[in-house]
């Protein structure tokens, strides 16, 4: 029962915060909504027995990525944007149709798949040792490639943002 209540609270919080991100006029408020959505998702990860990912989510997303976003907004001195949506006169109907089709298709696919089992009570998730062993044995090569990717992104970011 407690799982159900926590799930609904976190689900509603994440959806409301996500709508706030896409619909609010002020980009800084959108960023704060996004942080709320990240926290709700971290709570859902804890519910799904993945505490390691919940910690990573908060440290990397809220601690690094969102700070970067807010820092860039501060640097660019962005205010509210009065025209949130495109001012083009083209009808927006195809976009809404695409959105409804997307969400309808996704939900119908999920309904067609039968998930027989509810959340198992005996299963308490993977320990951090499990994940670390897998990361440094089976997925060692992708892990090293990822470090290279971060290096490339760092150099690229410096070069792109550098004054000519």
Partner 1 sequence: MTIDHSHYLILSALLFTIGVMGVLLRRNLIIIFMSIELMLNSVNLALVSISEYLQAPDAQIFVFFVITVAAAEAATGLAIVISLFRQKQTTNIDEVNQLKG
List the interface residues with partner 1, window 26-45 (CB under 8 A). 27, 30-31, 34, 37-38, 41, 44-45
Nearest to 71 by CA among 122, 36, 27: 27
User: Within positions 64 to 83, which residues make up the interface with partner 1, using CB under 8 A?
Assistant: 64-65, 68-69, 72-73, 75-76, 78, 81, 83
Minimum distance, C-beta of residue 72 to partner 1, in the bound complex (Å): 5
What distance in Å separates the CA atoms of residue 77 and residue 72, rounded to the nearest whole number? Answer: 8
Residue 1 Cβ vs partner 1, minimum distance, rounded to whole Å: 9
Question: Cα–Cα–Cα angle for 124, 47, 132, nearest 5°?
Answer: 55
The one among 36, 55, 62, 125 contacting partner 1 by CB under 8 A: 125
Minimal distance, residue 92 CB to partner 1, in Å: 7
Q: Which of 90, 91, 93, 117 binds partner 1 (CB under 8 A)?
A: 117
Taking a C-beta distance cutoff of 8 angstroms, is the pair 21, 33 a contact?
yes
Q: Is 9 in the site for partner 1 (CB under 8 A)?
A: no
Smallest gap, in angstroms, from Cβ of residue 132 to partner 1?
10
Closest approach of Cβ 143 to partner 1, in Å?
8
- # residues contacting partner 1 (CB under 8 A): 82
Taking CA 78 as the corner, what is the angle to CA 163 and CA 22, rounded to the nearest 5 degrees? 120
Q: In the stretch 87-116, what mask flags binding to partner 1 with x, by CB under 8 A?
A: xx---x--x--xx--xx--xx--xx-x-x-
| HEC-encoded secondary structure of 8-68 | HHHHHHHHHHHHHHHHCCCHHHHHHHHHHHHHHHHHHHHHCCCHHHHHHHHHHHHHHHHHH
Q: Is 134 in the site for partner 1 (CB under 8 A)?
A: yes
How distant, in Å, are the alpha carbons of 76, 107, 110 from that of 104? 38, 5, 10
């Amino acid at each position: 029962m407690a799982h159900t209540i926590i799930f609904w609270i976190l689900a509603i919080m994440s959806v409301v915060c996500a709508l706030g991100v896409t619909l609010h006029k002020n980009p800084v408020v959108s960023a704060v909504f996004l942080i709320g959505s990240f926290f709700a998702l971290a709570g859902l990860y804890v519910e799904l027995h993945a505490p390691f990912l919940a910690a990573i989510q908060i440290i990397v997303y809220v601690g690094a990525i969102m700070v970067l976003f807010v820092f860039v907004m501060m640097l660019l001195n962005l205010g509210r944007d009065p025209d949130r949506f495109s001012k083009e006169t083209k009808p927006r109907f195809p976009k809404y149709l695409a959105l409804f089709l997307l969400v309808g298709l996704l939900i119908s696919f999920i309904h067609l798949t039968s998930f027989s089992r509810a959340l198992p009570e005996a299963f308490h998730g993977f320990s951090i040792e499990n994940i670390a062993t897998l990361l440094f044995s089976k997925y060692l090569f992708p892990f090293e490639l990822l470090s290279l990717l971060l290096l490339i992104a760092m150099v690229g970011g410096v070069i792109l943002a550098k004054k000519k």
